[in-house]
A = this chain, B = another copy of it.
Amino acid sequence: MSNLGIGQLAKRAGVAIDTVRYYERNQLLAPAGRLASGYRRYGESELKRLRFIRRAEALGFTLEDIRGPLSLSDERNVAKVKRAAEAKLTDIEQRIAELQRIRKGLRTLITACPGHGRAEACPILNALTQENPR
């Protein structure tokens, strides 16, 4: 271990090989060391970084966030990381609120719709069709 080809690294991190190269191209991963042949070589630190990225994604961070506030060089900057997490939380809360608004609308319409009969009796169609849907 700790001297991995790109295939082994990808497998251990649970990502595709192309994803590793994509991350390198997009500065999420530092350029890998190379063998004389040009083959990339990785150690434990790259594996950790890759797992770091995956966990950050699972917390709702975009790759752009990870490139920026959560970048390699900032992994030790606690204050910046906390601010990034707070900003992301605000963002997530707004998305939840928006989806809840949509859910409420759908629930209201579904409850009121008999599921058969004339289109004019279907509140879903009416809501979509009328000038002032409610």
Q: Which residue of B lies closest to A80 (CB)?
A: B115
Interface size, chain A (Cβ < 8 Å): 49
**A14 at interface (Cβ–Cβ under 8 A)?**
no
Tell me if B124 and A82 are in contact (CB < 8 A). yes
Question: B residues within 8 A CB of A38?
Answer: none
Residue A75 CB within 8 A of the other chain: yes
User: Does B55 lie within 8 Å of A113, measured CB to CB?
Assistant: no
Interface SS of A by simple majority: helix
The answer to whether B92 touches A125 (Cβ under 8 A) is: no
Which residues of chain A have a CB within 8 Å of any CB of chain B? 48, 51-52, 55-56, 58-60, 70, 75-79, 81-82, 85-86, 88-89, 92-93, 95-96, 99-100, 102-103, 105-107, 109-110, 113-119, 121-122, 124-125, 127-129, 131, 133
